[in-house]
Amino acid sequence: MGVVKDQEQGMIEHAECHILHIDMDAFFVSVELLDHPHLHGVPVVVGSPTGRSVVLSASYEARRFGVRSAMPMSVAMRQCPTAVILPPHHGRYSEVSAEVMRIFRSVTPDVEQLSVDEAFLDIAGSIRRLGSPRDIGEQVRAEIRSTLGITASVGAATTKFVAKIASTRAKPDGLLLIPGDQTVAYLHTLPVSALWGVGSKTQEVLARIGIRSVEDVAHTPLSTLKRLLGASGEHVHHLAWGRDPRRVVVSRPEKSIGAEETFSFDIDDSEILRRELLRLAHRTATRLRASGYRAGGIALKLRYADFSTLTRSKKLDAPVDSANALYGAATALLAALGDRPMAVRLIGLRAESLETGGDGSTQLTIDRRDDNWRIAERALDDVNRKFGQAGVIPAGLLASKGRPGTGGGSREDPGGRRGEAGGTGPRSSRQRPPGRSPEADAGDG
């Protein structure tokens, strides 16, 4: 049977290109445009126009003015003063992301989620059922467009590295397949910056000896690359020849969900910090409920004015997904710190030790048990899904409209991976490119 299957797949065009990299186009902006269709075709930026906030996403119209993700919002507004600025709605992004990943998993169980809007798929086991890699890529793109109203770009290749390059060059709203026998020739047309691990400093080192393209790297002796780049020299040499043995690793469940806020100026007022924790608790709880998780633990993060960072965590008595419970635990951790040595630049709240929640069918009683809060907050979820996140907010946050100290540059990190700004799950945040601020979680395609 194995021989027959190999023969059948050999008859399918480019069956060797069974690795897909699929990336949504300007994901945050695309989701916002679902609710603001009149803004199609105009420059749109997602983020807050105040304080130290950064661009979370920019439409392709805004990118023509030089606006990029992770760019300080003040710079973006100078680059494109006519851009429409929309505040982020992270709960909405998570909902759409869940649908995107559902579509991916309807094609193959072998999905490695990298962020809220991108993943690797190994479709080797789906080719007989669904067709060639190109056919499958186009089917996924069509379903995302028809079901969700947004667009995706697809790269298909024999390896993860080349598939990622292909999807980047297919943007926006395209598909690029790089056949196995053309991989090396294609790679050798690219600048050296296309190689993973080659940032601006590495480019400068290589340029000193005339290495400016992937082809230059491929034809440079390995010993020379090792002398210049150390252990990474062998890595880039393999990539220059299209060698990438990594397999698609099925994503593990999220292990943490959280949110952070960088203030527009440093804060030493405990009341402002507690109010910000309330807002972050509601954001995090909304995402927990949308994801079907409860938190068995919570962590508090503070970054002081000198950029030193402190974290404290505690295990909860029972798993929760209500903002009231998260807020109570977080403020207890804050109070336990006592007098702070200096003002606070950033505050964050993270739900940890996640486990699948129940169906929420708890009888409402007259006492304020956490389940009462949870049921009430679920009702707020329904209202805000219909009328937007500003539809109903906690009374404790009413005074914070235009509150001093916060730049609105908040960043949600729905369970990022190690090496990013916290978390250990499949993420919803991207790996941070060289030079990106550690407080920015801002890139989308």
Q: Is 154 helix (H, G, I), strand (E, B) or coil?
A: strand
Q: Where are the alpha helices (DSSP H) in 195-322?
A: 200-207, 214-218, 222-229, 232-240, 270-291
CA distance readout (Å), 130 to 11, 124, 134, 137, 249: 14, 10, 10, 10, 21
Rounded CA separation 203/48 (Å)? 33
Catalogue the E-assigned strands of 127-255: 152-157, 175-177
175 secondary structure, DSSP code = E
Which distant-in-sequence residues (6+ apart) come within 8 Å of 85 by Cβ?
Answer: 45, 46, 47, 48, 49, 73, 77
Residue with tokens 């990474």: 232
Considering only CA atoms, which of 327, 321, 269, 270 is closest in space to residue 300?
327
377 is catalytic: no
Q: At how many degrees (to 10) do helices 232-240 and 222-229 cross?
A: 130
Q: At how many degrees (to 10) do helices 90-107 and 133-148 cross?
A: 140
Is the CB of residue 121 less than 8 Å from the CB of residue 248?
Answer: yes
Cis ω on the peptide bond leading into residue 172 (within 30° of 0)?
Answer: yes
- The string of DSSP codes covering 75-91 is HHHHH-TTPEEE---HH
416 secondary structure, DSSP code = -
Rounded CA separation 424/100 (Å)? 21
In this structure, the dihedral spanned by the alpha carbons of residues 113, 117, 122 and 125, taken in order and rounded to 10 degrees, is 100
Q: Which amino acid is at 237?
A: H
Options 61, 118, 276, 377, the catalytic residue:
118
Q: Where are the alpha helices (DSSP H) in 80-132?
A: 90-107, 127-130
Buried b (16+ CB within 10 A) or exposed e, 278-303: bbbbbbbbbbbbbbebbbbbbbbbbb
Is the CB of residue 341 less than 8 Å from the CB of residue 365?
Answer: no
- The catalytic site residues sit at 118
